[in-house]
Amino acid sequence: MKRRAIDSFRWVAAEVGRQPWIAHKLLRTTHAVSQSLTAGQVLTSIVMFTIIYLLLFAVWVYVLNSKIQHGPDEISAMPPSTSSADLIETAPRLANPAGYSLTTAHDPDSQHDKKEKS
> What digits encode the pLDDT tens for the residues 30-86?
777 778 888 899 999 999 999 999 999 999 999 999 999 988 877 655 556 677 777
Distance CA 74, CA 14 (A): 50
**pTM for the full model?**
0.43
Q: Which amino acid is at 72?
A: P
In the chain, what are the domain boundaries?
A: 7-36, 38-73
Contact 15, 9 (CB under 8 A): no
Distance CA 41, CA 23 (A): 26
